[in-house]
Every structure is written in structure tokens, then in C-alpha cells.
Amino acid sequence: MFEKFIVEQNAQWKGDLAEAGFPREAAAVLVKYINIRQIVALVGVRRGGKSTIARQLINFLIKEKKVNPKNILFLNLEAPLLNQFKGDPYNLQKIFDEYLALAEPKGKIFIFLDEVQFFSDWQVFVKSLYEKGGVKFFITGSNSQLLSAEMATLLSGRSIAKNIYPFSFREMTGLRKIETGKKIEIIRNEGKLTRIFSDYLRNGGFPEIVLEKNREIKAEILVNYYKNILYQDIIPRFEVKKTRDIENLLLYLFSNIGQGYSYNSLAKHLKMNDKTVKEYIGFFEKSFLLFEISNYQYLLKKQENYPKKVYAIDNGFIGAVSFYFSENFGRFLENAVFLGLLESGKEIYYHSCKHECDFIVKEKRKIVEAIQVTKNLNHDNEKRELSGLIEAMEKFNLKEGMIITESHEEERKIKGRKVKIIPAWKWLLEQD
């Protein structure tokens, strides 16, 4: 019943390596999980590159590990053919049984399940096969539930989840074949790097967008991504009834990146219920569209009393659905810095007391970084930007702080503390 579908999904059986595009940094990290037994979950926003990374892992298995291609099964569970079958996880077992009969694999089997959230109770099939042994699973999904305590319960001790993001700025420089490994190379290529950064800042890092040259087509694709996530993922998945309310809230948040709000203030402005506002923002986070951060307080209960802020998964969305790039350069720059911190796995907050510091970073139980973001540091804003940074440095006893700008670079000593001022493009190249 599924034989044709299985064969079409697995071109590697006839000797064709998958078309896997530019080598992703995440793929290079994930290869170390090939030999462990745990299920590896790749999670992130739609169109962010999860399927491509899965294909890159398949190619690695065949080329480097010399795995027989027929011992590898790739299945896109979002495929229209499966729509009528996705309500019963037993159909996954049927597909697997037909695969065994078709490919006749010998030894360990590697199964890649793409966009698993489209198949109800997929974990029943995965857990059953995992327990029998001899199978290694890689799964991808566009729902943060795959990272949640719920998944840990369903597959307790059996899974490891890894976040996958669109291209980072550093990956974009690699795609353009710009060398940045040494300081002398960065100096030599500064002109090219700043031009690539300008494109990254405006259009973001979704792989399809990065490869597209026409600016109008870029914008059209980004709007389609935005609509697909909202109308095909969020609204049906979470059974949202008041679609106009969730549309207005999402547009408002994208139009106010990095601006403080409370659920109550949003509710009043948009004529909604504050509990509904909080719930909808949770939906956006679960679909990796937006990320909410808090004003850091030592007591979690106290933290809830302060305004929140949100940042977008990709800069391209901000311009495509909200406001003009040239008029809001600072918002784009701040969002790019947030993404640099996010992709590095940092725990991110902001600080606000008498003054405000855009980002502070927590490791374990300690604040270890304070970062201010501004397009330029000049006579008009210098006092404000430095006051917010120094206040955070003093509160958390930091000897060094950072101001990230478009192009300004220097170091200063203020009240016995070092303030490093660095261009955003250069700072992004330094992130792990």
C-alpha cells in the first residue's frame, strides 16, 4: 500500500546521494550522536533547514560511515499521501513492515522521520521500535513540544533534542566562500562581510531566502512562510477560534520587537482577554516564531511583575510583515544580536531599574554578560546607553560589558570597568 511512497522518499537506495545544499554547522555537531542509542530530535521553525540537515546526516552515514543505503529509511510525514492515515500510529508500523520487505536491510537501521507532529501519537511507534533495539531514530519537528517535559515523559530517557535555526551570519559568510577563521582574513574581507551583514540584517537567514537574489521574491516567500505557520500550523494545531484576534496580536508583536509590554496592556490595546493574550504568545513560542524574555530578578515571582519583551526567529519576518528597514534599523540590529545569543544556547534576559540594558546572559545561577545594542554611539544617546550598561554591570558585579553597534569599535574604561564597543557583524562571527 505504501511501497511507491517509500521508494520515492529514498533515492539513496539507487545510489543517489540526497541534494543537501550548503553544509550546516548543526549537522557537523549532530554526527557525534550517530553512535548513541538515544532518539535525536531536531526541532525548529518551519523552513529553517531541519530536513536538509537530516539529508546531510544521511549522506554522512553513506559516505563516511559506509552504511548500506537500504539500511536508511527517510519519511516525510507531512506528505499529502499520508493525510488519510495520520490518525493511527499503527500505519507507521505498516510502512516500516513494507520497508523491511522492500529493502531487506541487514544490521542496524537508521530511520529519519520528518515533521513528526503531523502524525498522531507517533511516539507510540517510535517507542515500540526503540525498545526492540537495532534501530536509530532521527526525528524533526516544528513544535517545541518536542523539547518539552511532555516529550521527556513520553520518551523518558530515550531522547535528546537539538534546536535548529535558519542560517547564522557566520554560515552566510561560509556560503559566500568568505574566509573568517583568522583575524587577518576578517580585516582583508571587511567590505564583503559588511555587505553580507546588511543583507542578513534586512532579509534574515532562511535558506531559501539566502539563495534567492530578487528582493521582491524574498519578501513574497517570507510572507508565505509567515502565513503558513500561522494558518496551517498554529491556528489548526491549537484550535484557535478567534482568528482575527490572533492575527492582530502577532502583527502587533512583530511591529514592536524589543518593546516592553504586559499581558494586561496588550489585552487593553487589542481589546482581548489577558489570559488569551498569554496563551496565544505561548502558541507563537511553541511554533518558534517569537521568543519572550523577562526582566531578570533573583526571585522568579517578582520577575513576573515586570514587562516582557519579544524577539523574532528571523529578521526577514520583521520587515516582511511589519515595518520598513531603514526607519527601524535599531530594531533589526537588536533582533540580530538576540538571535546570536539564542543560537549560542544562552539564557537571555534584559535588565531594567533606573536605566535599561538590552540583554543580560545567565549561566547556571550567575549573570555573566551585559550587552547594550545601538546603531551608533553619539552625543545624543551616549549617556543613556552607557548608563543602562554600567547599572547592569554594577548590579551583577561584572568587570566587562559590551555595546554592539553597526560599525563603531573601541574600548573604554568607565568607573574601573571595561566597556567593549564592537560592530555587530564582527561580534556575530565570534559566537560559538
CB contact at 8 A, 145 and 238: no
322 CB neighbour count, 10 Å cutoff: 18
Cell of 21: 545544499
Strand pairing class (347-352; 356-363): antiparallel
pLDDT band at 166 (very low <50, low <70, confident <90, very high): very high
What's the pLDDT tens digit per position in 84-139? 999 998 999 999 999 999 999 999 999 999 999 888 888 889 999 999 999 999 99
Dump pLDDT digits (tens) for 328-376: 899 999 999 999 999 999 999 999 999 999 999 999 989 999 999 999 9
Q: CA-CA distance, 250 to 271, in Å (whole number)?
A: 14
Structure-model confidence comparison of residues 157 and 226, the more confident one: 226
Distance of CA 274 to CAs 71, 213, 277, 281, 289, Å? Answer: 51, 42, 5, 11, 20
User: What SS3 class is residue 355?
Assistant: coil
* Record: fold of 3-164: Rossmann fold (3.40.50)
Q: Per this entry, what is the length of the chain?
A: 432
What is the rounded CA–CA span in Å between residue 374 and residue 385? 8
The residues spanned by each domain of the chain are 3-164, 170-430
Cα 8 to Cα 1: distance, rounded to the nearest angstrom: 13
DSSP track, 168-189 = -HHHHHHHTT---SSHHHHHHT
Answer whether 266's CB lies under 8 Å from 273's CB: no
Tell me how far CA of residue 58 lies from CA of 34, 110, 139, 327, 367, in angstroms. Answer: 10, 9, 13, 44, 40
CA 131 to the chain's CA centroid: 31
Question: Over the stretch 391-428, which tens digit does the pLDDT of each residue have?
Answer: 999 999 999 999 999 999 999 999 899 999 999 999 99
For residue 179, give the amino acid letter: E
Per-residue pLDDT tens digits for 170-201: 999 999 999 998 999 999 999 999 999 999 99
d(CA 253, CA 356): 20
